[in-house]
A = this chain, B = another copy of it.
Amino acid sequence: MKLSILGCYSATPRTFTNPTSQVLEINNHLFLIDCGEGTQVQIRRSKIKFSRIKHIFISHLHGDHYFGLVGLISTFRLLTRESDLHIYGPKGLKEVITLQLKLSDSWTNYRLIFHELSSKSSELIFEDDKIEVYTIPLSHRIYTNGFLFKEKPGERKLDMNAVKAANIDLAYYRKLKQGFDVENRDGILINNNTVTKAPNKTKSYAFCSDTAFDEKIIPIIKNVDVLYHESTFLEKHEHLCDPTKHSTAKQAAKIAKEAKVGTLVLGHYSTRYDGIEGFKTEAQEIFQNILLAEDGKYFEF
């Protein structure tokens, strides 16, 4: 599981900082999460292949999370994309994108499929044989979702030496991988555990931005391997959290601790601070395993 941070600052793009966007690579999918202005240039800088992006998830309709989307859609057209593009985001997103395509008389030559979200409960919005994606309803000034990406458990692995020693016919290998006990050639029932090993551990990633401190998300993100939680402010600006519906680094750490996540990645920093080390220092008073997002940075989990 790889996470490329394209932008991790709040509010407005600046010379050296970009608004929110990131690419999660998991099980051969490249999921683009949020798409602030300048995202397509950041994708180029990160040497990510445009054509591999087939699913885009938009948390909410504040500009720093989606103003780059219409430009990316247009660029896909100029690059003569042919494959479908799925876009998941709040109701209204389809209208604003299609209005712009209409005004420019530049319809895409590929299928643009909108999955508009309006539920206030967590729901499954994408699924294939290896991955599930759920919404995480967040607490922000406008309708906002985080997203939970979960690998499905894979098949059990055959311990070939044990399988052969147990004299099991090839025809039963599939059932073994699926976890069933099977009969061997002598009619004896073989316990699955004795001839197979557990599948690779599944991985999971939760993206939570933008949001005020909200413990209601904890059951949804419980035990995830990696949590990206916004930390717009340091503690000295905690009084700004309520009016703006953002979090401090410490609040993000509290969520990480209560949800027993593996690693917490902080981001969505206010641009008022000179550096970002303070976010880590403050968060580590609560939770140890902290990584700081930075534009252009790349994490492997």
Q: Which residues of A contact B (CB under 8 A)?
A: 11-15, 37-38, 40-41, 44-45, 61-63, 67-68, 70-71, 74-75, 78, 90, 92-93, 95-96, 99-100, 103-106, 141-142
Contacts and interface: CB of A to CB of B under 8 A. Distances in A.
Given A105-B142, A142-B104, A12 B63 contact: no
Nearest to A13: B41
A141 B99 contact: no
Contact of A99 (B41, B74, B95, B142): B95
Residue among A14, A45, A68, A103 with most chain B CB within 10 A: A103
Copies in the complex: 2
A103 B67 CA distance: 12
Contacts of A105: 141-142
Contacts of A142: 103-105
Nearest to A60: B104
Contacts of A40: 12-13, 37
A41 B15 contact: yes
Nearest to A99: B96
24 contacts: A11-B75, A11-B78, A12-B71, A12-B75, A12-B78, A13-B41, A13-B71, A15-B41, A37-B68, A38-B38, A38-B41, A61-B100, A61-B104, A62-B104, A63-B71, A63-B74, A63-B104, A63-B106, A67-B67, A67-B70, A93-B103, A96-B96, A96-B103, A99-B99
A222 B68 CA distance: 39
Given A13-B38, A92-B103, 19 more contacts: A11-B75, A12-B78, A13-B41, A13-B71, A15-B45, A37-B37, A37-B38, A37-B40, A37-B71, A61-B103, A62-B104, A63-B74, A63-B100, A63-B104, A67-B67, A67-B100, A95-B99, A96-B96, A105-B141
A95 B98 CA distance: 12
A95 B102 CA distance: 12
Residue among A11, A14, A71, A105 with most chain B CB within 10 A: A71
Nearest to A76: B12
Among all A-B residue pairs, the 10 with the closest Cβ atoms: A61-B103, A12-B75, A37-B71, A92-B103, A63-B74, A67-B71, A62-B104, A105-B142, A61-B104, A15-B44
Nearest to A73: B63
A73 to B, nearest CB: 9
